[in-house]
Structure 1
Amino acid sequence: MSKHAVRGGDITGLLARFAQLRTRHRRAPVGTFALVVIQEAGLDGFWIHRILEAEGIESHVVDAASIATSRRRRRAKTDKIDGEALVRALLAYKRGEPRVCAMVRIPSVKEEDHRRIGRERKLLVGERTCLVIRIKGLLFAEGITAYEPLRRDRRHRLEELRTGDGRALPEHLKGQIRRELDRLELVIAQIKEVQAERDALLAIEVAETPAATLLDRVCRHPLRGRAVPALR
């Protein structure tokens, strides 16, 4: 297999390389060939796939975990080895071999954007948990365990806290906890904002589904004068 490196994100260089391959194969006596591309699903998203399809190139995005590998011994993992494995998986997939790999269904731009709401909420909830644990850890070092940072009276209760040996909280510690509470309240506000966007989006999707439309019709036109069989 011939190998050519293209700088990450250089889509112009990638398309130029494909153009060179096309020019070389046009001169071959066996005829022309179609370009087929495979790439792993990852942090790059699907923008490269969309550009390739717009250029008339057949593109596939594969779930890397679905490609079978040897489990007998610890194997080396390099870009060269992974690239060759992808090409072999693509060849087997194009031959029609079953269970070779799992190709990813490419979401639309709108669907991909809608997914970000759930992902952002998950990230914010994780940040909220980390902040709560950090605040409780700071207070635990002073012998305080009965403090819940998520309660609405968290700042009022902070002023009333006493250490395990009966002292008031040190000023610098109290200042640090106040700043942690500032971050926590910001994250809580952002979670509420994201959840409001999610609920509004779900309401629109539910209203547009055929099942919701059918349910709405049934509710507007109830059965009258008919016996409804009971489930037993």
Structure 2
Amino acid sequence: METAPVQSKTQTAVRTDLGAIFVSLELSRSTWLVTSLSPGNGEKMSKRPVDGGDVAGLLDRFAQLQQKARLRTGRSFPIVTIQEAGLDGFWIHRVLEANGIESYVVDAASIATSRRRRRAKTDTIDGEALVRALLAFKRGEPRVCAMVKAPSPEDEDRRRICRERKVLIAERVRHVNRVKGLLFAQGVSGYQPLRKDRRKRLEELQTGDGRGLPRHLKTQIIRELDRLELLLEQIAAVESERNSLLAAHEEQAAKGPGKAAMLLSLKGVGAEFAAVLWAEGLCRHFDNRRQIAAYAGLAPTPWQSGTIDHEQGVSKAGNPRLRTTMIQLSWLWLRNQPGSALSRWFVDRVQSNGGRLKKAAIVALARKLLIALWKYVTAGVVIEGAAMKSA
């Protein structure tokens, strides 16, 4: 009985000519796990922890990896790193690039994982998976993962104005609802905390059974109004800063109107919509309409296997703020731009379905409108039938 020949150790190793040291960073608040695959070390991956936030320790670890690879092979190798986009933002990526290190930030959801119902997950396993994804990406394998394009510090900072306003608006809604709820429990309705005479009207309120407001309840509502008025001041300050930013962008556009100004010229598009669309999406470069639809999470998600072929809806994998804004803008577009080709398409689509599936149609309109706005601000293609604001 013949037995199979025993393979040598070199045959079982990963036969890859590594031209660099590939490193993944599994980041947490307390520890950074550095997983590396170096030339001359076979298929073995090295794993070493570094204290979270210790950039000097991380760079020292990279120097050690390069020194060991130089001793094994007699050659010097560059460092190529990968990390997941997440809580740490892009500052580590910028530090690495400033030190001459090739760095990539990957969308973690784009990396293939085991489909078992209970799959093992540890920082060690995730670190190795990141290294394998980086190797495949550098080999040029298509669709192996989706690398995130890090925004510039200026673009990243510009987004904060609209994002802060959204947070403040949500807080304002909570305070208004809390005041109305406290009064409704006493039989009082119709009080509007956002009116300028809110404090005067508060003094005139009576409960449903004809009593004046209880002392402690009135004191609590006054404190709620104090916080509400502070929020209103902050919202006004943020909106003023937003308007100044739009005006400055218009002044910097020497060759013609800037993107934000072009958006503002459309009827139904206000300062907030224009600022969000510009800061969250249209300031970036996209090669085609599929890229911008995917960035907003408005790209379709097909499910096709054999004879089964249906759509699962939009992917929702992109920028959630841009996607939400486009849905809101689509409803307003129907009201302010009824004569545009996009509005007529929506009406015909809904009527063909017997007036049903409006929500699905508005998402489709949001995708079409985003693509049309992108063409408008980048190539000057005017949206068919769109009305412009009067001078």
Please give the range of the TM-score, normalised by the shorter of the 2 chains.
0.7 to 0.9
Going from structure 1 to structure 2, the CA distance change for 1:31 and 1:168 (only over 3 Å counts) comes to same
Structure 1 regions of 5+ residues with no counterpart? 216-230
SS of residue matched to 1:27: helix
Distance 1:160 1:82 in 2: 63
Q: Does the alignment pair 1:160 with 2:204?
A: yes
The equivalent position to 1:91 in structure 2, one of 135, 144, 151, is 135
Distance 2:234 2:119 in 1: 44
Q: Map Cα deviations across residues 119-177 of structure 1 (whole Å, 9 max, x no partner).
A: 21111111111111222222222222322211212111111222222221111111111
Q: Which residue is 1:102 aligned to?
A: 146
SS of residue matched to 2:82: strand
Amino acid at match of 2:193: P
The equivalent position to 1:29 in structure 2, one of 47, 62, 73, is 73
Distance 2:112 2:56 in 1: 33
Q: Does the alignment pair 1:194 with 2:241?
A: no
Distance 2:189 2:49 in 1: 57
The equivalent position to 1:212 in structure 2, one of 257, 261, 265, is 257
Distance 2:99 2:208 in 1: 69
Q: CA deviation at 1:43?
A: 2.2
Q: Which residue is 1:62 aligned to?
A: 106
Distance 2:252 2:80 in 1: 37
Distance 2:63 2:154 in 1: 31
SS of residue matched to 1:45: coil
Alignment of 1:107-118 (within 5 A): 107-118=151-162
Q: Which residue is 2:371 aligned to?
A: none
**Whose helix fraction is larger, Structure 1's or Structure 2's?**
1
Q: CA deviation at 1:184?
A: 0.7
Q: CA deviation at 1:5?
A: 1.0
Distance 2:225 2:120 in 1: 46
SS of residue matched to 1:6: strand
Deviates more, 1:174-183 or 1:118-127: 118-127
Q: Map Cα deviations across residues 87-109 of structure 1 (whole Å, 9 max, x no partner).
A: 22211111111122221111122
- The 4+ residue runs of structure 1 with deviation greater than 6 A are none
Equivalenced residues, count: 216
Q: Does the alignment pair 1:148 with 2:192?
A: yes
Q: CA deviation at 1:71?
A: 4.3
Deviates more, 1:114-123 or 1:186-195: 114-123
Q: Does the alignment pair 1:10 with 2:26?
A: no
Structure 2 regions of 5+ residues with no counterpart? 1-44, 262-383, 386-391
Distance 1:69 1:134 in 2: 45
SS of residue matched to 1:4: strand
Distance 1:194 1:183 in 2: 17
Q: CA deviation at 1:110?
A: 1.4
Going from structure 1 to structure 2, the CA distance change for 1:203 and 1:84 (only over 3 Å counts) comes to same
Q: Which residue is 2:171 aligned to?
A: 127
Question: Which structure is richer in relative contact order (CA contacts within 8 A, separation 6 or more)?
Answer: 1
Amino acid at match of 1:212: P
Q: CA deviation at 1:85?
A: 2.3
Q: Map Cα deviations across residues 24-75 of structure 1 (whole Å, 9 max, x no partner).
A: 1111126332211111112212111111111111001112222233445243
SS of residue matched to 1:75: coil
Distance 1:9 1:60 in 2: 18
Distance 1:99 1:31 in 2: 32
Amino acid at match of 1:203: A
Identity percentage of aligned residues: 66
**Whose strand fraction is larger, Structure 1's or Structure 2's?**
2
Distance 1:68 1:143 in 2: 57
Q: CA deviation at 1:81?
A: 2.7
* TM-score of the aligned structures, taking structure 2 as reference length: 0.52
* TM-score of the aligned structures, taking structure 1 as reference length: 0.85
SS of residue matched to 1:101: coil
Q: Does the alignment pair 1:40 with 2:88?
A: no
